[in-house]
Structure 1
Amino acid sequence: MKVIILKSNLKSGLDVVGRGVGTTTNLPVLGTVLLEARNNQIKLSTTNLELATTKIVFGKIIEEGEIAVSFSTLSGIVNNISSERVNLEVKNINLIIKTDNYDARIQGLDTKDFPIIPTIKDKKEYLEIQGELLKSALQKTTMAVEVSDLRPEIGGLLFAVEPTGIKIVGTDSFRLAEATLSGKQIKNTFSKGLMITIPLRAAQELSRIIEDKESVQIYTDETQILFQTESFSMVSRLVEGKFPDYKAIIPKSIENSVVVDREELINGLKLTSSFSGRNSEVTLRIKDKKTLEIFSSDSSIGENKFLLPVKADGQDMEIIFNWQFLLSGVRGGQSKNVILGLNGEEHPAIIKSPEEAGYFYILMPIKP
């Protein structure tokens, strides 16, 4: 293999595939990146056997070939060289790197030892979503997920594909976030409904990698899912087990609907959190249908409160929340105002935006 590539192209490719590198010492090949130059394409691939990522980068191919080398070594070199033009050449299972003022030799591994990157054989049925929409939906829902050995079935995002669209749902049993993409926003060729759960790490990586203007095609089979664009592909195993039926916890009615300025509420939560203590508790007090008081205290520090105007349609109430979980839900939308649908101290609250029908966030209060 012999190629000429720009440092910026090589670095961007390594950045995409880097977090898919394995860390186990039992299989050193999982700590490598596979470089392939053939068919007028330069491909970089990594895998940890749970997740596999491939990125296509631009460069000039002089001789086709391939090699697997230590990802950390190659990445460290590329991040620190100053020259933009980089020459890569394979000689005797070694990768020779040359610039105008630097050269290095990295010992490689036989590419036969590199795991086969899995794929989906049957691609007749798929989803196609604009990158910007998918990234937004993933970012709004991944923050409600926490991996747990006790409940592995909720250690990822539910993709519920329906004729009318797709719902992406995440929960850690204390909170839940749902983002909906309507049928007009996606292309769906699946002949029937589909419910699969992708691991949290795969969802986080996907939201980091996707470019806004790319179209993402999604294929799946019984055990894995493939996300693919013109420049990258990512294959992940699916989470085993059935995602719980979450619809029962969605509030059917609201005791007190509180409309408040989003940025003011975010500021108030961050400000009062300084006194929230180890339990991260803040108390919301609705007063006279027009004032929201955010209060927190710590016996070893003191107390503070923050007042802001609101429009409420219910009775005065006082509810305790984890301020970090509450802040995540408030940040989920983009509109100027946010609606807090409160149902007392024993029932879940729902957070949504007046202008964004495709997203809501549910949070359980903390009992006094």
Structure 2
Amino acid sequence: MMQFVAIRDVLKNALLAAERAISANTNLPILKNILIIAEKGGVVVSATDLEIGIIVRVAAKTIQEGKLCVPAGTLSQLIGNLPSDRVEISSSEIDAVIKAEGYEGIVKGANPEEFPIIPSLEDSSNRIEIPVAILQQALSQVLVAASNSESRQELANVLFDYQVDVLKIVSTDSFRLAEKTLSTSQFTSNIQNPLKVLLPVRTVVEMARILSSSSGMAELFVDRSQFLFRLDDYTLVSRISEARFPEYAAIIPKTNATTVEVKKSDLGAALRLAGVVAEKNPIVSLQTNSSKGLEVQAHGQAVGEGRSILPSKIHGPAAVNSFNVKHLADALKAIPSEDIMIGLNGDRAAIIKDSKDETYFYILAPIVKT
């Protein structure tokens, strides 16, 4: 019989974290379960959808070693609502027995031997170590342009382009593209040769989620087919996508026809106003006027129209470009600085970045009226 005692909130958080690896679309009943292994020194909680797996180590007092496989949602809800901060879990054949002060219950389980093995890396020698704060910011800046498209699998991924002296992280949904470059002063690695790894967007989203509540150093490992992310008590294992990431170098503007320097807070406020006016037609127009500044215009057939004039520095000829207002606002969320530079290039892609930081850019395709 398996038996252990744990702190309710610690166990609940581990269950919720691992549960995120479970896909709502799975047709295999066993994959709706979570595997709990009680061993010397603590408890290991695991879940997988065969694409990604999340493993969380939990501090607990193990009375009897063993395994349980139980429905993830049921168990996490029960644990989260227990009245006591101390919970005991034991096994009765394949079922879980839950005990806490004032409560006792049984959760029907499955055979833990049927739970799929979460694959380990064949070769764990390829390693990158990055401070949590740096990796978290990089992923948040790139994920704003990521796609969840099921019809174009090559877009539903994030590219990690390791070039020995830099690490570039890139995503695109075909309308926009974001790239963040990290230098060797920001990470350490023992990988000697350039390496490109394509990870499913969902994998990177879960990495970012784990990073958001942690500190310290994160470790990334990669072999021929698997990727592993490790941070404190969390381990995430993912398959490496076999899709081909689009060649994007040609769409990066080398120069800009017109550049605009503007404050992020000013542009953000103007875009919020434009979003209200545009309503179901989420298009905003940026028009440069060397004497007035940057004009932000929106028009909605049912609502009306509006225009904001923002103080700005404009270099180059007068320009008018239209963009999806949400996509433009997403660029501002990804840039921490208040000083924004926008490069407008007619029918070609615009580039948006921090005026003083060359390590990040966001490319946005204009809406061309036909």
Report the TM-score, using the length of structure 2 for normalisation: 0.96
After TM superposition, list the pairs within 5 Å mapping 1:202-217 onto structure 2. 202-210=203-211, 211-217=213-219
Give how far 1:161 is off: 0.3
Corresponding residue SS for 2:204? helix
Contact between 1:289 and 1:311, CA under 8 Å: does it hold in 2?
Answer: no
Greater Cα offset, 40-49 or 280-289:
280-289
Q: 1:301 aligns with which of 300, 303, 308?
A: 303
Aligned-partner residue type, residue 362 of structure 2: Y
Q: Percent identity?
A: 34
Give how far 1:277 is off: 4.0
Q: Deviations over 1:287-327 (max 9, x none)?
A: 11651111111222211111211111122211100011111
Give how far 1:150 is off: 3.9
Specify the alignment match of 1:180 in structure 2: 181
Give how far 1:59 is off: 1.5
Specify the alignment match of 2:194 in structure 1: 193
Specify the alignment match of 2:356 in structure 1: 355
Q: Deviations over 1:80-130 (max 9, x none)?
A: 222111111112222111111111101111111000011102111211111
Specify the alignment match of 2:239 in structure 1: 237
Contact between 1:94 and 1:107, CA under 8 Å: does it hold in 2?
Answer: yes
Q: Deviations over 1:186-237 (max 9, x none)?
A: 1111121001110011111110012441322111122221111231111111
Specify the alignment match of 2:286 in structure 1: 284
- Distance in 2 (CA, whole Å) between partners of 1:286 and 1:25 is 51
- Distance in 2 (CA, whole Å) between partners of 1:25 and 1:145 is 23
Specify the alignment match of 2:328 in structure 1: 326
Specify the alignment match of 2:251 in structure 1: 249
- Distance in 1 (CA, whole Å) between partners of 2:145 and 2:153 is 15
What number of residue pairs does the alignment pair up? 367
Contact between 1:289 and 1:312, CA under 8 Å: does it hold in 2?
Answer: no
After TM superposition, list the pairs within 5 Å mapping 1:40-79 onto structure 2. 40-79=41-80
Contact between 2:69 and 2:111, CA under 8 Å: does it hold in 1?
Answer: yes
Specify the alignment match of 1:4 in structure 2: 5
Report the TM-score, using the length of structure 1 for normalisation: 0.96
Q: List gaps (5 residues or longer) in structure 2.
A: none
Specify the alignment match of 2:18 in structure 1: 17
Contact between 2:40 and 2:62, CA under 8 Å: does it hold in 1?
Answer: no
Give how far 1:39 is off: 2.9
Specify the alignment match of 1:263 in structure 2: 265
- Distance in 2 (CA, whole Å) between partners of 1:12 and 1:340 is 42
Give how far 1:148 is off: 2.8
- Distance in 2 (CA, whole Å) between partners of 1:241 and 1:83 is 48
Corresponding residue SS for 1:185? coil
Give me the CA root mean square deviation: 1.4
Q: List gaps (5 residues or longer) in structure 1.
A: none
- Distance in 2 (CA, whole Å) between partners of 1:266 and 1:79 is 39
